[in-house]
Amino acid sequence: MSNPFDKIIGYEPIRKELERTADALKNTEKYARLGTSAPKGLLLHGEPGVGKTLMATCLIEASTRKAFVCRKDMPEREFIEYIRTVFEQAESEAPSIVFLDDLDKFANGDEDHRNSVEYVTVQTCIDNIRSSDVFVLATANSLENMPSSLLRTGRFDRDIEINPPSGEDAVNIVRHYLKGKSFVAEADAEAVAGIMAGLSCADLETAVNKAGLLAGYENSETITLRHLILGCMDIAYSVSPDSIIQGAKTRDAQLAAYHEAGHALVSEIICPGSVSAICIFDNNGSASGVTSYVSDVSGKITEVGDVIDKITRSMGGLAGTKHKFGIKDIGAERDLISARYDISRLISDNAAFGFFFKQAHYDASAEMLSRMEQIAADKVEECYSRAERIISENDGFFEAIAKELLKKGLLVAKDIKRIRRKNPTYETFLSHQAV
């Protein structure tokens, strides 16, 4: 018999835990002999599309228990009654499972609903079935607006956060969606997963499908890497394939191209192979750009230097236009927000540049706040200077990226690799200690 958990790709540690839970629910006698009682409840939470419902249904199937599903798809008054009925039915058919899918949507979303009648009802129902062998399984996007009393141990013994897939998991999920589609070599799954880093499984699936639609519309026999990258750009950055600008000569297209080339160059010098794609596109009549990295460094930050590298990369855009045109362009708001966020966390959460005993901004003194602000501004300025120096040293590589980007509108990792081979690179400012 096939294992229901085989439907889950990746997420090995979570899958293992779900397998153990299913075993405990299925073979209660085995555990009872050891004097152990069956687990009572599990809450899976995480962003939309990361596989919570899939994991819950695999657990239900593997447990072989009858499940009573409760989703909010009816008016409030009927729903309260429905919740009670579901719990009653589950109790009368115990051992069983009550599956509360999207529990955080049970109450109205437009007000503070922590004390809503829906949550109170769920809580009462859980307490009422406590002595029965009913396992309460729930999924939710966010726990923020749910009452802590409902989430406490005893009601849900365990909560597991499901994050978007990353690394090998993301590549294997993309491979899975590519299966059965014409073409796509091994390396391409990695390219797609790279661009889509941080997004959900549902997004990966949609991007691959978009690529197929594009290929079909172009009467292409196969889905090419270009189709895949365009599908990803659409899902990950809302850049529609039709908006990519090719061969543009306008001033704003040039600014956008050199800005993105700055990000890409700095990223490639600090970490070769770290850029997955760059594009410039028409954004309601003016040119914009996106540089996408192989993986979101923020997930792997282990030391201060990693954050400094990330901020330097964010500053690469501004430094690129300054280097080429002698001006700082005004399209860098997102970069500055990202740099500010990173440096603030580094200073206040990790005391990376000195110990601040009141860490949270809301309870810091005005003097401490201004000290933190000053350190933050100085560090971002240093990162900007470092980005400028990296670009100056690698001017040939930088120019070549920008020129090809202007011509083609979209460059992928292997284009950058090829350009790099033709241009010498220097790494004097590689170490963040040079900052």
Ligand X SMILES: Nc1ncnc2c1ncn2[C@@H]1O[C@H](COP(=O)(O)OP(=O)(O)OP(=O)(O)O)[C@@H](O)[C@H]1O
CB-wise, 86 or 201, nearer to ligand X?
201
CB-wise, 102 or 395, nearer to Mg ion?
102
Q: Which has the closest alpha carbon to 159: 23, 44, 12?
A: 44
Per partner kind, with CB cut-offs from 5 to 8 A, the member of Mg ion, ligand X, none near residue 11 is ligand X
Per partner kind, with CB cut-offs from 5 to 8 A, the member of Mg ion, ligand X, none near residue 10 is ligand X
CB-wise, 24 or 202, nearer to Mg ion?
202
CB-wise, 17 or 395, nearer to ligand X?
17
Sheet of 286-293, strands arranged across? 286-293, 275-283, 410-412
375-404: which residues touch Mg ion (CB under 5 A)?
none
Computed over its alpha carbons, how large is the radius of gyration of the chain?
26
CB-wise, 122 or 401, nearer to Mg ion?
122
CB of 139 to ligand X, least distance (A): 6
| End-to-end Cα spacing for the chain | 59
CB of 18 to ligand X, least distance (A): 11
Q: Which residues contact 363 (CB under 8 A, 6 or more apart)?
A: none
CB of 235 to Mg ion, least distance (A): 18
CB of 179 to ligand X, least distance (A): 11
CB-wise, 53 or 166, nearer to ligand X?
53
Hey, CA dihedral for 194, 200, 205, 208, is it positive or negative? negative
Per partner kind, with CB cut-offs from 5 to 8 A, the member of Mg ion, ligand X, none near residue 154 is none
Per partner kind, with CB cut-offs from 5 to 8 A, the member of Mg ion, ligand X, none near residue 18 is none
Q: Which residues contact 264 (CB under 8 A, 6 or more apart)?
A: 275, 278, 291, 316, 401, 411, 416
CB of 151 to Mg ion, least distance (A): 18
CB-wise, 5 or 79, nearer to ligand X?
5
CB of 200 to ligand X, least distance (A): 7
CB of 168 to ligand X, least distance (A): 12
What is the per-residue binding string for Mg ion in 13-52, x denoting contact by CB under 5 A?
A: ----------------------------------------
CB-wise, 159 or 205, nearer to ligand X?
205
Q: Please give the structure tokens belonging to residue 95.
A: 């051992």
Binding site for ligand X (CB under 6 A): 8-11, 48-54, 102, 139, 141, 173, 201-202, 205
CB 316 within 8 A of CB 262: yes
Per partner kind, with CB cut-offs from 5 to 8 A, the member of ligand X, Mg ion, none near residue 262 is none
Q: Which residues contact 247 (CB under 8 A, 6 or more apart)?
A: 406, 407, 409
3-state DSSP call for residue 306?
helix
Task: Determine if 141 is a binding residue for Mg ion (CB under 5 A).
Answer: no
CB 420 within 8 A of CB 397: yes
For residue 347, what is the DSSP state?
A: I
CB of 163 to ligand X, least distance (A): 11
DSSP line for 237-267: H---GGGB--S--SHHHHHHHHHHHHHHHHH
What is the per-residue binding string for Mg ion in 46-85, x denoting contact by CB under 5 A?
A: -------x--------------------------------
**Alpha carbon distance 411, 397 (integer Å):** 14
CB of 44 to Mg ion, least distance (A): 9
**Whose CB is nearest to Mg ion?**
53
CB 257 within 8 A of CB 409: no
DSSP line for 386-403: HHHHHHHHTHHHHHHHHH
For residue 157, what is the DSSP state?
A: S
**Whose CB is nearest to ligand X?**
51
CB 204 within 8 A of CB 173: yes
CB of 123 to ligand X, least distance (A): 22
| Binding site residues, Mg ion, CB under 5 A | 53
